[in-house]
Amino acid sequence: MSPYLRPAVDAIPAYIAGKPPKHVPGLLSYKISSNENPYPTLPEIQEALITSLDEVNRYPDMHAVALSQALSERFSVSTDELALGTGSVGVLQQFVQATCDEAGEVIHAWRSFEAYPIVCAVNGAKSVATPLRADESHDLSAMLEAITPKTRLILICQPNNPTGVAVRDEELRQFIEQVPEEITIVLDEAYIEFATDPAIPDGIKLFHEYAEHENIAILRTFSKAYGLASLRVGFAIAAPRVAGALRKCAVPFGVSGMAQAAAIAALKCEPQLLKRVSEIKKERARVIAGLRTQGWSTPDSQGNFVWLRLGEATQAFSKECLEHGLSIRAYGDDGVRVTIGEAAANERFLEVAGMFLKEINKGK
Ligand SMILES: *Cc1c(COP(=O)(O)O)cnc(C)c1O
């Protein structure tokens, strides 16, 4: 006899970590597989971290008062409307815990963020995945049709990881109007700072506009645009009743003192960080233009990454990248997601993509 495990948890495939890029003599290698921010930590943030080291013997502020205050001012929300967690994935888990009981259902698109089905399984919820449309966007009509009396949450990955496509303002508003108000709609805006399409709404503005709808919640993170992935801090903006429930589900003292200090410092340095975000957006435009010139078709990504739907060539492409010192993210035989990194990494990626496409075309 072996110890009992919940079947839903036992069935989760073990996490397969991204392979480090192969060391190629004479070539710097780059990890462009995790949508990380390629810039080094700002000195102001490093200083805040160093100061916070004096108190690692103490528990952090459980209610993260100073960070909540800073977020409240930055986004014009009350602290009642905020809930923090260990990364936005931590907050996502709090959403599932706060809303799903007895096999509550969570609707999300697929392919989308890989954490969604896992967080559902771990927390006893049922993941209900609706396929993306052919243009790699969320199929909101299919999501509406998937609603049942057990639906508790709808996750919109805005823009979608890994395809980079975001739901446009008008369609999102129509959707919100049609979802019953007892179902919470979470806009996971992990990459929203990288969006450039003016038709893509700012979720926090929508949250304010739809103040009478208590079921609209926004999920944000310090991991991507703010460059604090290692520190694990994310937050939700939601109606006070929902945010209060999220706070109850948080791991006590989950957001460390270092994470709180760094996040506060990052908000103070926001102009500098957003300047880096604009540089990444410029690089993204250059990469997308380069790929299209080579003959690739790729959506207008609104995130800090690009998507190539390679089908059966997915694994071969990923291998080719590794051989050239690039680790990228391959998804079965769907496609690859490549993070916009340092200019040299992007340049190398374009070279590999160009060579690969020539090989494919030769074989035809
Ligand atoms: C990277 C990412 C997050 C952020 O996760 P953290 O836990 O905040 O680091 C959230 N949602 C999506 C879709 C992501 O890709």
Asked if the model's pLDDT at residue 142 lies above 80, the reply is yes
Check: CB of residue 350 under 8 Å from CB of residue 343: no
Interval 92-130: pLDDT, tens: 999 999 999 988 999 999 999 999 999 999 999 999 999
Whether residue 347 is contained in a domain is answered as: yes
| d(C-alpha 355, C-alpha 292), whole Å | 14
pLDDT at 20: 75
Q: What is the DSSP letter of 338?
A: E
| Judgement on whether residues 109 and 223 belong to the same structural domain of the protein | yes
Instruction: Find the CATH number of the domain harbouring 344.
Output: 3.90.1150.10
CB of 229 shorter than 6 A to ligand 1: yes
Cα torsion 243, 249, 253, 258: sign:
negative
Percent of the chain exceeding pLDDT 90 equals: 92
Name the domain count of the chain: 2
| Judgement on whether residues 180 and 104 belong to the same structural domain of the protein | yes
Position 324, amino acid = H
| Judgement on whether residues 61 and 34 belong to the same structural domain of the protein | no
Interval 172-230: pLDDT, tens: 999 999 999 999 999 999 999 999 999 999 999 999 999 999 999 999 999 999 999 99
Whether residue 2 is contained in a domain is answered as: no
CB of 223 shorter than 6 A to ligand 1: yes
Interval 227-260: pLDDT, tens: 999 999 999 999 999 999 999 999 999 999 999 9
Give the residue, by CA position, lying nearest to ligand 1 atom 11: 190
| Judgement on whether residues 197 and 64 belong to the same structural domain of the protein | yes
Whole-number Å distance, alpha carbon 285 to ligand 1 midpoint, is 22
Q: Mean pLDDT score of the chain, rounded to an integer?
A: 96
Q: At which of 268, 285, 319 does a domain end?
A: 268
- Mean per-residue pLDDT for 24-36? 93
CB of 113 shorter than 6 A to ligand 1: yes
| Judgement on whether residues 189 and 246 belong to the same structural domain of the protein | yes
| d(C-alpha 353, C-alpha 338), whole Å | 11
Q: At which of 236, 268, 300 does a domain end?
A: 268
Asked if the model's pLDDT at residue 26 lies above 70, the reply is yes
Whether residue 318 is contained in a domain is answered as: yes
Q: What is the DSSP letter of 132?
A: P
pLDDT at 13: 82
Among 109, 177, 113, 183, which residue's Cα sits nearest to residue 140?
Answer: 109
Give the residue, by CA position, lying nearest to ligand 1 atom 3: 190
Whole-number Å distance, alpha carbon 336 to ligand 1 midpoint, is 18
| Judgement on whether residues 48 and 30 belong to the same structural domain of the protein | no
| d(C-alpha 56, C-alpha 35), whole Å | 29
| Judgement on whether residues 259 and 121 belong to the same structural domain of the protein | yes
| d(C-alpha 28, C-alpha 141), whole Å | 46
Range of the domain at 24: 16-41+271-359
